[in-house]
């Protein structure tokens, strides 16, 4: 007897046991996910949600953080260190906090505090206006007065040895001294003026770069005759920038020359100013800053500055030595968008340019311009270094810069446009919180640098990050959060989700998925639900729900509907680990 032969339906199995993170594009690889929530690469290649977060502090107005021996932050007018508040009278603007040795520089307030001695804090700038008579005396550098015997345009006849003569035949006037041994009048190369008035030097230090004002239009009269002194050019010449060569509480000594002793009652202002700067960083024991716009004096500038070596208070000290302050003009157009120190070089970004400063030991610093994708406007806080590589948000995406040219590393984020990025490097990861430019919602992404994988956590809007002592801190919602779970931990289990791309859309020959098996483990109390979306439907259909009452692993078989293609979504609450997803693929007929 003959029996009919039945054709055995051919099937195959495809298993994914390496999960490669987030990829928000139309075509994605096996093991990648089109969307996700609260996932991490910590357990790679296993798919798993992130750990719990915590709360470090709940300040009234958190405005910025910085890593020192412990986490330091600004709470309104206070600087907080080890939970001890120092009232510094700070304003309510977001802060740039820059570390320089034990000091923290607080901008835009232009204040500082010594974290090794918290009683040492104050203003970077200083200003004093006299309210008593001010005298001006030609002096030596130590402040001792010169007593010139002659003030005239012609050389005195038969002078005694060491006689002093102020030669008024040329401008500026010069002080000369008779040398009997050589028979010549020898010019004293540098002369000084001692400026005396109660309290005039108390706010300043030796070698401070200062600005003197109030001397150009001063009206003077001779103390004997009462006649007005017409020529006060030597006094007016002191008006402007200079250096304090010696000081006491009631006097300062500056470079200058004058024919007579002056005493005036008009107010004189002495000030030490810090330029208005867009961004400031520290490198090689100096502060470096940039400015595009209006300077303190009202001039429009496009410049990069650096402070005096080892002295963040002095930005206008020009003594002709290697430790001087420095100013360099920039020829590129547009606002500065960010700054950071990378591999010892101060880097200043515009949206389409990178300015790299080469620091010179002799003070001849140079600027190199590189046309490239720079930092997007409003994303200055996205600059962060992970494993010697600099990451930042450009208009086209997230860039990685190793010192040569930036390259984009965010193709997996898709074509969504983001802005207002805030980021930080911690361990091997780059954390970045960005605002979706069209939907005005935030998203927190994490880039695992060695694994080159992105994961999306949640919608956390972060105003500042800080990596300190093995923990990552974030300011969000008026609180300082611990992203890795120290501090007061969250008690609620983490809600998580992953969503695949289109499964089966590229399969030829009428193949279809007859079975999906998910291998996973769950902690006690964790829950998991799986959903499927078939073909071009917008509806998600629940496939299964699972709850764990003991710590064990599961293998979940799913039989999807017969379809051309599908998407799978897994939602969970609590800790779970997905080890593999296996698809059983069968050959269909041309009719079904």
Task: Give the span between the Cα atoms of 21 and 412, in whole angstroms.
Answer: 9
Residue 590 pLDDT: 54
CB atoms within 10 A of CB 241: 12
Residue 391 pLDDT: 98
CA distances 454 to 387, 410, 441, 543, Å, are 17, 8, 19, 28
Residue 399 pLDDT: 97
Polymer length of the chain: 592
Q: How would you write the pLDDT of the chain (592 residues) with one tens digit per residue?
A: 566 655 555 667 778 899 999 999 988 988 999 999 999 999 999 999 999 999 999 999 999 999 999 999 999 999 999 989 999 999 999 999 999 999 999 999 999 999 999 999 999 999 999 999 999 999 999 999 998 888 888 888 888 899 898 888 888 888 999 888 888 999 888 899 999 999 999 999 999 999 999 887 776 655 555 566 656 777 888 999 999 999 999 999 999 988 888 888 889 999 999 999 999 999 999 999 999 999 998 999 999 999 999 999 999 999 999 999 999 999 999 999 999 999 999 999 999 999 999 999 999 999 999 999 999 999 999 999 999 999 999 999 999 999 999 999 999 999 999 999 999 999 999 999 999 988 889 999 999 999 999 999 999 999 999 999 999 999 999 999 999 988 788 778 999 999 998 887 766 666 667 788 888 899 888 999 999 998 878 889 998 888 887 766 777 787 877 777 788 999 999 999 999 988 887 766 554 4
Using an 8 Å Cβ cutoff, are 424 and 460 in contact? no
Residue 406 pLDDT: 96
Using an 8 Å Cβ cutoff, are 162 and 178 in contact? yes
Q: Are strands 269-272 and 32-33 parallel, antiparallel or unpaired?
A: unpaired
Task: Give the span between the Cα atoms of 32 and 574, in whole angstroms.
Answer: 21
Phi, psi angles (nearest 5°) of residue 411: -60, -30
Structure tokens of 385? 């270094």
Phi, psi angles (nearest 5°) of residue 382: -85, -10
Task: Give the span between the Cα atoms of 418 and 28, in whole angstroms.
Answer: 21
Residue 182 pLDDT: 84
CB atoms within 10 A of CB 274: 22
CB atoms within 10 A of CB 396: 11
According to the 3-state scheme, what is the secondary structure of 17-76?
Answer: CCCCEECCCCCCCCCEECEEECEECCCCCCEEECCCCEEEECCCCEEEEEECCCEEEEEC
Structure tokens of 591? 């009719």
Using an 8 Å Cβ cutoff, are 358 and 345 in contact? yes
Structure tokens of 233? 């050019």
- In angstroms, how far is CA 77 from the centroid of its own chain? 21
Residue 318 pLDDT: 94
Q: H helices of 110-211, where?
A: none
Beta bridge partners of 557: 517
């Amino acid at each position: 007897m003959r029996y009919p032969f039945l054709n055995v339906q051919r099937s195959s199995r495809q298993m994914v046991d390496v999960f490669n993170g987030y990829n928000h594009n139309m075509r994605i690889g096996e093991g990648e996910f089109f969307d996700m929530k609260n996932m991490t690469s910590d357990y790679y290649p296993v798919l798993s949600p992130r750990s719990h977060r915590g709360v470090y502090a709940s300040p009234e107005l958190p405005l910025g953080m910085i890593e020192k021996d412990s986490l330091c932050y600004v709470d309104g007018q206070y600087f907080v260190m080890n939970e001890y508040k120092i009232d510094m009278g700070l304003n309510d603007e977001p802060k740039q906090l820059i570390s320089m040795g034990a000091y923290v520089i607080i901008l835009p307030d232009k204040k500082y505090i010594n974290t090794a001695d918290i009683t040492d804090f104050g203003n970077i700038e200083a200003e004093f206006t006299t309210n008593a008579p001010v005298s001006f005396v030609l002096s030596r550098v130590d402040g001792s007065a010169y007593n010139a015997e002659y003030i005239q345009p012609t050389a005195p006849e038969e002078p005694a040895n060491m006689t002093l003569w102020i030669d008024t035949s040329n401008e500026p006037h010069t002080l000369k001294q008779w040398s009997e041994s050589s028979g010549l009048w020898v010019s004293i190369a540098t002369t000084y003026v001692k400026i005396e008035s109660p309290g005039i030097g108390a706010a300043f230090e030796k070698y401070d770069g200062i600005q003197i004002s109030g001397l150009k239009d001063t009206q003077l009269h001779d103390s004997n005759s009462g006649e007005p002194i017409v020529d006060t050019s030597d006094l007016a010449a002191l008006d402007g920038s200079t250096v304090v060569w010696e000081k006491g509480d009631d006097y300062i000594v500056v470079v200058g020359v004058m024919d007579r002793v002056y005493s005036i009652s008009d107010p004189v202002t002495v000030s030490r100013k810090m330029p208005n700067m867009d961004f400031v960083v520290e490198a090689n024991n100096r502060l470096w800053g940039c400015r595009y716009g209006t300077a303190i004096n009202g001039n429009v500038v496009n410049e990069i500055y650096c402070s005096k070596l080892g002295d963040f208070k002095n930005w206008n000290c020009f003594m002709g030595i290697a430790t001087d302050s420095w100013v360099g003009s920039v020829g590129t157009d547009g606002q500065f968008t960010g700054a950071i120190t990378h591999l010892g070089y101060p880097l200043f970004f515009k949206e389409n340019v990178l300015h790299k400063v080469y620091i010179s030991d002799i003070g001849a610093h140079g600027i190199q311009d590189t046309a490239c994708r720079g930092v997007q406007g409003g994303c200055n806080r996205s600059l962060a270094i992970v494993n010697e590589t600099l990451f930042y948000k450009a208009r086209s995406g997230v860039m990685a810069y190793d010192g040569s040219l930036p390259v984009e590393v965010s193709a997996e984020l898709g074509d969504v446009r983001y802005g207002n990025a805030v980021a930080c490097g911690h361990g091997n990861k780059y954390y970045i919180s960005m605002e979706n430019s069209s939907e005005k919602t935030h998203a927190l992404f994490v880039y695992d640098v060695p694994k080159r994988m992105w994961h999306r956590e949640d919608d956390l809007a972060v105003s500042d990050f800080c990596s300190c002592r093995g923990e990552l801190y974030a300011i969000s919602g008026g609180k300082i959060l611990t992203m890795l779970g120290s501090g007061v931990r969250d008690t609620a289990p983490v809600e998580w989700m992953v969503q695949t791309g289109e499964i089966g859309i590229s399969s030829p020959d009428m193949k279809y998925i007859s079975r999906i098996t998910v291998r996973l483990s769950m902690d006690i109390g964790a829950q998991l639900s799986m959903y499927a979306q078939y073909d071009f439907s917008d509806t998600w259909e629940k496939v299964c729900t699972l709850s764990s009452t003991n710590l064990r692993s599961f293998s979940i078989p799913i039989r999807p509907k017969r379809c051309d293609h599908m998407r799978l979504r897994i939602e969970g609450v609590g800790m779970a680990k997905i080890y593999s997803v296996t698809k059983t693929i069968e050959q269909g007929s041309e009719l079904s």
